[in-house]
Structure 1
Amino acid sequence: MGCCKCGNRPKQRFSAIGTSSAAIARNLGKEDGENISFESLSSIVDIIRKSTTLPLTVDIETGYGHTPEAIAGNIIKLANLGVVGINIEDSIVVKGERQLCDQVIFANKLEEIRKQLSDANIEVFINVRGDTYLLNVTHPLEESINRISKYQQSGADGIFLPCINTSSDIQSVVASTTLPINVMCVPNLPTFSELKNLGAVISDTHL
């Protein structure tokens, strides 16, 4: 870091910025879980985008839409603001309780979203948040690997697995796919140097 007394500025250490749905919602006095409108999200994203020259990716939760066409439309609007990527979740909140989407249905939706974007000549990085570990499903490693395979075939560019925290599981996931694997900073996570050797990418602590 730079020294404030001598006026030296800190060196730039980041190559991209990713928004947090929880942080944006709470900044507006709301809880996470698409409790703000897409228009409110877009407005804040526009402000962020105009304040930096770094590539910006946006957490769109489940996409702010019930159909692939609606979700793709929202992504296109963000791309037109200058956003280069999005993060989308494979779980939904129903009556206050988060539950995993059926993996085949989600993969098909993802494939249709990618097609809609392609038809509109929109190129964005699609990062899928897989919530198998977050929701403590039975056999999360096997479930994650199965889902990642389907998501890769459907057009995902990256995977985010919050709450995975063992070296063996991370290594198995990384070995199962050519997609980059993001992990969250949680207790008992391997050190950054170990994660680098495992081939994982560090994310932050926000969902």
Structure 2
Amino acid sequence: MKIQAQRERAGIFSQMHKKKGMFVIPNAWDAASAYIFEREGFEAVATTSAGIAYSLGYCDGQEITIDDLEYAVGKMADRISVPLSVDVERGYGETGRQVKENIRRLLRAGASGFNLEDGQGDGALSPVELQIEKIRAIAELKEETGIDFVINARTCAYWLDVAGEEEKFEIACQRGNAFAQAGADCVFVPGAIGEETVKKLAENIEAPLNIILNGKFNDLKKLEKAGVRRLSTGSGPARYIYGNTVEIARELRCGKTEQILSGWLSYNEANEYFKDQI
């Protein structure tokens, strides 16, 4: 991707976080899903680490390599014309310097933003000092490259259910504000979080708030009213698709073909759909 085009996409994405109101950003797992989301009207697309891992036959949790992620990001960014935010999990590195170089690679592949999380594989949270080191290192790339990409700092306090309700809230707010002070443009607090807690998070975190779509609180109008700026779909769309694929495989193994043959998208329609350049 030409650097000017990437700067333009990153600038657009940055402004989306500064405007009033909430925007929905769907999470894609390959070039086709990213293409579909843009074609159906979304102004930006994000990746899902779980979805990309599933697409390569692995479970989530940094089971793929940075090479795998760079390849997937490049394919997505080349096929769409809107900003692409990339879930880099813990950054595929344990120091700020390592993470910075990985982010540099993904910028070259066409990314316009990054999710960096503090959840570890053992169910605990990374030391806050380490996360601050990583965020500051990533932020240095903005000046070095001239690309105003978005740093979306994720705290997994609710996702990993690390403590009781009051303590989780305090942890999320403390970490979110520390991440914002270190250079994060948005704070991501995923989990099944109720309406009142979402309101309190929006009031107490001094950065735009990103929430994940979940079964506990998912009314878009109420989410916007509660102060959410960015709503992610997470791995939901990918799991829906792969769940249907599992059902088809099981039915076919039992000699049933009705579901496969009942799809609304014909071969010719699929070719037509994916033919156009956006």
Letter of the aligned partner of 1:134 in structure 2?
A: W
Asked whether the equivalents of residues 166 and 190 of structure 1 are also in contact (C-alpha less than 8 Å), the reply is: no
Task: Give the TM-score normalised by structure 2.
Answer: 0.66
Point out where structure 2 has 5 or more consecutive residues left out of the alignment. 1-37, 237-278
**Percent of aligned positions that are identical:** 28
SS at match of 2:103: helix
CA distance in 2, matches of 1:89, 1:170: 19
* Displaced runs of 4 or more, over 2 A: 10-13, 115-123
Residue 130 in 1 paired to residue 155 in 2?
A: yes
Q: Could you tell me how far 1:190 is from its partner in structure 2?
A: 4.6
How many residue pairs match? The answer is 195
CA distance in 2, matches of 1:44, 1:72: 19
Asked whether the equivalents of residues 104 and 141 of structure 2 are also in contact (C-alpha less than 8 Å), the reply is: no
**Counterpart of 2:270?**
none
Q: Could you tell me how far 1:98 is from its partner in structure 2?
A: 2.7
CA distance in 1, matches of 2:57, 2:40: 31
**Counterpart of 1:89?**
117
CA distance in 2, matches of 1:11, 1:109: 34
Query: Could you say which structure has the higher strand fraction?
Result: 1
2:49 equivalent among 21, 25, 30: 21
SS at match of 2:120: strand
Higher RCO, 1 vs 2 (CA within 8 Å, ≥6 residues apart)? 2
More off after superposition, 120-129 vs 65-74: 120-129
**Counterpart of 2:180?**
152
SS at match of 1:169: helix
Q: 1:160 to 1:51 in 2, by over 3 A?
A: same
Task: Give the TM-score normalised by structure 1.
Answer: 0.87
Asked whether the equivalents of residues 128 and 158 of structure 1 are also in contact (C-alpha less than 8 Å), the reply is: yes
SS at match of 1:183: strand
Asked whether the equivalents of residues 91 and 100 of structure 1 are also in contact (C-alpha less than 8 Å), the reply is: yes
Q: Could you tell me how far 1:118 is from its partner in structure 2?
A: 3.1
Q: Could you tell me how far 1:125 is from its partner in structure 2?
A: 0.7
Asked whether the equivalents of residues 116 and 154 of structure 2 are also in contact (C-alpha less than 8 Å), the reply is: yes
More off after superposition, 167-176 vs 53-62: 167-176
**Counterpart of 1:37?**
65
Asked whether the equivalents of residues 48 and 234 of structure 2 are also in contact (C-alpha less than 8 Å), the reply is: no
Q: 1:205 to 1:116 in 2, by over 3 A?
A: closer
Q: Could you tell me how far 1:116 is from its partner in structure 2?
A: 4.9
Asked whether the equivalents of residues 77 and 84 of structure 2 are also in contact (C-alpha less than 8 Å), the reply is: yes
CA distance in 1, matches of 2:93, 2:147: 18
Letter of the aligned partner of 1:202 in structure 2?
A: L
2:134 equivalent among 109, 117, 131: 109
Asked whether the equivalents of residues 127 and 157 of structure 1 are also in contact (C-alpha less than 8 Å), the reply is: yes
Asked whether the equivalents of residues 165 and 190 of structure 1 are also in contact (C-alpha less than 8 Å), the reply is: no
